[in-house]
Amino acid sequence: MKKMNLTEHPYFIDKIIQLYEMILVRHGLMVVGLPFAGKTMITKVLAQALSELAENKLMNEMETHI
């Protein structure tokens, strides 16, 4: 989040964790919500974090593309 110049708000972090947990247990999902609720940024932050984990060979994550 710091690389993207975003404020580390607990609600935002919780939503990122919830999205990651859903990805682990579902074959597919949709992110829905009101306009300007942060859906795109949550997805981008998670994708970047998972890609960095893959680059550093941590947690056996694969590079993520959006």
Can you give the residue ranges of every domain in the chain? 1-19+37-66
In this predicted structure, what is the pLDDT of residue 64?
A: 66
In this predicted structure, what is the pLDDT of residue 32?
A: 94
Mean pLDDT by 10 residues, the chain (66 residues): 92 96 91 94 93 83 66
State the SS3 of 5-58.
CCCCCHHHHHHHHHHHHHHHHCCCCCCCCCCCCCHHHHHHHHHHHHHHHHHCCC
In this predicted structure, what is the pLDDT of residue 63?
A: 63
In this predicted structure, what is the pLDDT of residue 57?
A: 82
In this predicted structure, what is the pLDDT of residue 27?
A: 85
